Chains A and B, each alone.
Chain A
Amino acid sequence: MSDLLEVANLGKRFGGFVALDNIALSVRAGERLGLIGPNGSGKSTLVNCICGTLRNEQGSVRFDGRVIDGLPAHRRTRLGLARSFQLPRPFVSLSLMDNVRIPLLYTVEARGAHRAGAAIDDHCHRLLREVGLEAKARALPRDLTQVEMRKLELARAMAAEPKLLIADEAMAGLTHSEIEDILALLVRLNEQGVTVILIEHIMRAVMSFSRRLVVLVSGRKIADGLPEEVMRDPEVERAYLGQ
């Protein structure tokens, strides 16, 4: 299989602070990749650079065979690169239906699918059903619980019909059964052919989901490999538990 995402020598600074230092990372199509690291290690910055929310000063990102450096975020989403935000960022004045309708209108339709309003409505319902929010289709985001908000965040990312989905801490603060729900959803997506990068602090979730694990510490990648092996890596242990 070819590489879907290829990050080479990626560097990002905030003033004098080096947030990302020479990151190299390739992800094959269909992979389930876990990305972990302590707070402030650069995980979200990496996601932001890959998705175009931030500009990287150094290095390059290739996606699906083309260099996407300099492309604005919405163009990357259209190419098939979707992400959920660490803190849910729903469109607060739009109903849940309309929240998932946006990527349909602006991403899927922009790729050339021209469907009637009713077909798009059906699609919105189907997406909400998949995350168990169909009953609240007409509700506003502020009527949702935390877990529902995170599900909406995922549904909106899924609506863009991505090739690669980056879930940025989709499970923080959730209970065990809620975590199971979301994991099952991600696994299902992956089985449908979507490559998934999972950024997570909850190790149980990361270990059960990931087929490969990457560890970031202080903006550097210190490990990359099979999850069990990575967790036994003395450098990873040191980063997490101290010496």
Chain B
Amino acid sequence: MTDWRSEARLRDDRIAAGRAQADGKVVPATRAVDLLEAVLRPGDRVCLEGDNQKQADCLARALAACDPGKVHDLHMVQSGIVLPEHLDVFETGIARRLDYSYSGPQGGRIARMLYGGQIELGAVHTYLELFARYFVDLTPNVALIAGVSADREGNLYTGPNTEDTPTVVEATAFKNGVVIAQVNAIVDKVPRVDIPGDRIDFVVAADKPFYVEPLFTRDPAAMTETQVLMAMMAIKGIYAEYGIRRLNHGIGFGTAAIELLLPTYGERLGLKGRIATHWALNPHPTLIPAIESGWVQQVHCFGSEVGMDRYIRERPDIFFTGRDGSLRSNRAFCQTAGLYACDLFIGSTLQIDLSGHSSTVTQNRVAGFGGAPNMGSDPHGRRHPSDTWMKAGREAQITGDPMLMRGRKLVVQLVETFGDKLVPTFVERLDAMELAKKTGLELAPVMIYADDVTHIVTEEGIANLLLCRDADEREQAIRGVAGYTEIGRGRDRAKVEDLRARGIVRRPEDLGIEPLDADRALLAAKSIKDLVHWSGGLYEPPAKFRNW
């Protein structure tokens, strides 16, 4: 007889073992290690919730403190490798295999461990791709997640930083897995139910509130004239020309400068209401002046941002909020929104090669992908037209009947030609290729593939790659905006001038922008304190951004 319920029985066994450490569903932080040792089995697939913002850090510490004799060879399937404990477990043998997306702060250590063979790497994913695999071939046996509060039934309030939690719980709870949530507080009644209690098996009362990284705060005081110039070019040369209303921004200073230029430079160009009205974006503090000036109609968020909660509560017409008033974010839905419902993604990168492939991997850092390659790609499943999408599609050359054309999503790389310490952004060959070779990866970790990139904006100008008709034109267009890097100085000047005559390469002066007008005075806010003023005192910046 076929046994159709073996997973369910195993799940019941795990829960029964865990109950011995719990009072109902509730487990004190001091018993967290015992709980994990009771529930986990060698070789389990485990999602330890590490998003790019909030961290199930109490459970991460507990997992790292487990006895490797009892808990070992786990297969970690989690979006963020952010805390030291996320990698400690690979050193002790508690974990062996890893599938993940993002490893910002641990990028250097993960690279060393990959080279040293301490981690058996499955693949580096985009968020949406990893979430998809949770439902197909990487379904967790056990999920360790983080919430703000829970009642004794396990009803969970995830608060403004809901992020990945609903997705992780959905995949685990409905496929015979066990869900353990750490919460900052056990309460009689949660402010709103983000995850119903019957999907949560155990609630650990954490020893301290979960950690959240303020990843999306950019201090206007650090913005340079060059970034202001590039923001002017992007607004006038791309946002205005394509009439971009639905968009996503990366997290760099360049895009933050665009946000701060909307109510000043954008206003002067008469673009209010015509561009940048609907966003898939975290609540960037630098978007406050545009919101307050009436530019923004609505914003859906992947997560929240430290210090923005009060402001968001007072602007429910703009943000998605619960009946309790606080932000409801959801990374999977927002990534989907960024993929299918936005006409533009614009972000920065560390290296771009001569065809336009880009990567944030350098030889000693593997930062992972996060969401950029998802939002920074042209979705072939899209069917609804928009003027922006159709215009870009026409520029990419229509062949055959126009009724059968696809539009194109605009994918813009906004980069300064030199990065920190005069490291050139433009290169012959991506470091990602060397890393792939050294670590035996089949694919080089490319952030955005060349065939998805439509424009490159640098301080020297805009290259429109949609209009390039062959590989040589493409290379010269890229060289033509690569400034004084070796790639830039290696340009064929005559060919670049020809591309300029055809509008494929455009200089600031071709756009009617005088580089000397690129002044910090154009920034709607010049400091974090200005942002607080714009918000009417509702934005409460974290201590590290307070210098007054």
The answer to whether A and B assemble together is no
* A residues adjacent to B (C-beta < 8 A): none
* B residues adjacent to A (C-beta < 8 A): none
